[in-house]
Structure 1
Amino acid sequence: MSPNERLLGIAIVLWLWSAGLGAREVESLRINAGIDLFPSFLAADLDIADKTDKDGALLLLLVHWDTEQDVEHLAAGLAEVGHIRDLPVRVRTVSVEALAEYRDARPAGMFVTERLPAEALARILAFGRDAGVLVISPHKGDVEQGASGGIWVGDRILPFVNMRALDAGGVRLKPFFLRIAKTL
């Protein structure tokens, strides 16, 4: 199944069942759709080749609050991507509390794996802005709060981009990606 077919399937499930599903199930579907789009966001970063670690890999952080066990399956799936724009990926899970340990490591991108308290989200967004990296959150309202990107769920799932957040972090995305995305 191609990534587009998988996203379409997730969109249909979200649309058909959102009224009947609990908040946890809808959130889980949003997380799965977001993690599928995360590599596309990174591939659209015009400066991604400059965001490698000392070993030439793209360090991708999956940031969590208190559910590290639930994050491991997301990390394993993301690691299967292998390369983004011919650059190898290295996936790490990290708690909000331990994020400061990665300041010198310069991650290429960060993915918010769960709904966070406002203070924790603000810390992640400030870290991403200061480091000049994408912070992608699939959680409803996080793009409006300052995440670089997320997902827009309508008749299909689209990338959702916060242009002000990109500008604040100095992140530049490919024009084609911005044309197909919903922008704020």
Structure 2
Amino acid sequence: MNRHRCALFLLILALPALLYSCSAAKKTAKKQHSYMESAYATLKDAVNEAEVTILNDTIKVLFPEHLLFKKSSAEINEATTPLMQRFGKALNQYDKTSILVNGYTDNTGTDGINETLSKQRADSAKNMLERFDVLKSRIFTWGMGKTNPIGDNNTEEGRRRNRRVEFIILYNYEPPK
């Protein structure tokens, strides 16, 4: 019986700390959600040419494919510079975010070429953001090759849509070590 009383006593002592910790976590999550909602609204307004969506505090920005890259190229069209400048300025207002830049290709070419090109596209987009003072430490790049197509690779229009860079904005992302 003594053990049960001791366990009950410890539970009673620990309960307020547990409840406080849950309450603090909820407050933190609510603050983070508000922060990301504000970032979403700012980005949507700043780069209205892009498709800006939010899901579970993750913001995705997808520019129309013709604005960024030509076929088989990782060079960003200079016409995109003002748009990327507005994008960078908006990102700089939310310095508690990290930007994941995923580069993609269509299905033409070999897997090796597509993986290299998609990584080069992501790196080009990162370099452009750095030109507009987005901190290098906030930007992470990946080359995804021909994976995750958003268009039909059997048509020129679909392949054009698949040649893209997606920007994923997260609250203080820490990459796996």
TM-score interval w.r.t. the shorter chain? under 0.3
Larger Rg: 2
TM-score normalised according to structure 1 size:
0.26
TM-score normalised according to structure 2 size:
0.27
The structure in which a higher percent of residues are helix is 2
